[in-house]
Structure 1
Amino acid sequence: MALDLDWVAAVQANTSAIERRAATLPGRRSVKKDFQAAWLCKAISLIDLTTLAGDDTEGRVKRLCAKARQPVRAELLEKLGMTGLTTGAVCVYHDMVEAAVRALEGTHIPVAAVSTGFPAGLSPYKLRLAEIGESVKAGAREIDIVISRRHVLTGDWQALYDEMQEMRAACGQAHVKAILATGELGTLRNVARASLVCMMAGADFIKTSTGKEGVNATLPVSLTMIRCIRDYMDRTGVKVGYKPAGGIAKAKDALVYLSLMKDELGHPWLQPDLFRFGASSLLGDIERQLEHHLTGHYSAANRHAMG
């Protein structure tokens, strides 16, 4: 849609109220036994299994893709009645896209590529757009782009809109997730306005963080962004997805985020096309919890390695 600056300017964020609401979330929902196992299996199906390290190799990516195809040991999935469960996607740097696509051949699991000068987004603009095209050409079906934080911090919403719109166009048929790097935006009001502008410009998902900032996904930020998604849907009829990323490492954290999505946006946002976790170590903890559910014992973390 066209940029509506009046709508953007009208967006406010009551920080104290948001923080109070977020503080109540971990204690408001408690699921146990079979119900907890079911929710944790749902969480696995929503994970973008991620490796974004400088020492990534094709071998590491292949092992990660094997984990995405078989996220929990086969005998555990059989006992749970969840044979065939996979993660939502595999997320890698551009150089590893082809290796990931080959490793996931024959599955429905998409490859997501971080792009546009990730994580800072400060490389030359033409190169950022070209990087999107190269990742799509290599087989990435989802592109996680980073916005220019300076546009938000200076209130240049037109520049942010134009940037996001061009990146959306460069992605073609691939889904685009706009990473706001919320830990660097200063205020929740900035987070809300940046979320709205990116949705107006065509983002399929809005995402909290690169995972490289000092502060990544938090419940107050998530509540702010989710309310913007709801407002945008109410006004336009368009559903935009949400991806918290960075710092979500425990199964109990995943349950809190799932309950938040269920409360605020409803069942459609508990599906992979509208909700993802950006995570790696989260899967290992969920697998440990599922084994505990079945056996009554916690196993060592090395029994649930990523590859």
Structure 2
Amino acid sequence: ALPPAPPRPPVAAGADEIDRVLDRGAFLSGRYLKVYEEILAVKAECGRARLKVIFETGELSTYDNIRRASWLGMLAGADFIKTSTGKVGVNATPANTLLMLEAVRDFRAQTGVQIGVKPAGGIRTSKDAVKFLVLVNETAGEDWLDNHWFRFGASSLLNDLLMQRQKLSTGRYSGPDYVTVD
């Protein structure tokens, strides 16, 4: 029997978006050039695929670090910046998302390049989502109110949206058997 074929790189397999988690160890120890070069190397492999750099903002500890990571990611070629994988203690918050929105707004003002933002983790209800959408509109502007530039990463939000839709159409909320359990 022939050995299995090596896996195809994601872009060669048709991926249109690549995720890269920021090397927080290097970043937090001040090795910004290493972090920049790693993101740059991944961007070089992306071809036409968009690069999303994920920060784990809850582990970056300070607002200055979140702002610095945002700029570092954008300067290295990120097409999208994301708060978190959703798998750590602190994920998307209005405060850390605000910092990232200010960064993309200011980056576009200085370079003419628009970068997307994706808050992920902790956005569980439709009411939470509306708060973030207001934050986007008031901080970055209407241009970001499009899924090409702003997305939520929140599976529990989908559950709430489905229940809200059911409530609008029938007058009653769905039971837990009609949505996924996270």
TM-score (structure 1 length as normaliser): 0.55
User: Aligned to 1:185, which of 60, 72, 77?
Assistant: 60
1:160 paired to 2:44: no
CA distance in 2, matches of 1:179, 1:255: 22
1:276 counterpart residue number: 151
Counterpart CA distance in 2 for 1:150 and 1:299 is: 44
- 1:92-114 Cα offsets, whole Å, 9 max, x none, are xxxxxxxxxxxxxxxxxxxxxxx
Give, in whole Å, the separation in 2 of the partners of 1:301 and 1:260: 30
TM-score between the two structures when normalised by the length of structure 2: 0.90
Task: Give the equivalent residue in structure 2 for 1:228.
Answer: 103
Measured in 2, the distance between the counterparts of 1:264 and 1:302 equals 38
Contact 1:153/1:186 (8 A) holds in 2: no
1:136 corresponds to: 11
In the alignment, structure 1 segments of 5+ residues that lack a partner are: 1-130
CA distance in 1, matches of 2:67, 2:107: 11
Hey, what's the Cα distance between the residues in 2 that align with 1:218 and 1:151? 24
Partner of 2:4: none
For 1:240, the aligned partner's letter is: I
CA distance in 1 between counterparts of 2:169 and 2:87 reads 35
Provide the identity percentage.
47
List gaps (5 residues or longer) in structure 2. 1-6
Q: CA deviation at 1:162?
A: 0.9
The Cα shift of 1:250 comes to 1.2
| Structure with the higher fraction of residues in helix conformation | 1
The structure with higher relative contact order (CA 8 Å, sep 6+) is 1
Instruction: Figure out how many residues of one structure are paired with residues of the other and give that number.
Output: 175
| Deviation for aligned residue 1:305 | 4.1
The answer as to 2:77 corresponding to 1:202 is yes
Q: Distance in 2 between matches of 1:305 and 1:161?
A: 38
Aligned equivalents of 1:140, 1:256: Cα separation in 2: 31
Deviation, 1:136, is: 1.8
User: Equivalents in 1 of 2:125, 2:158: separation in Å?
Assistant: 8
Coordinate RMSD, CA, aligned: 1.6
Secondary structure of the 1:276 match is coil
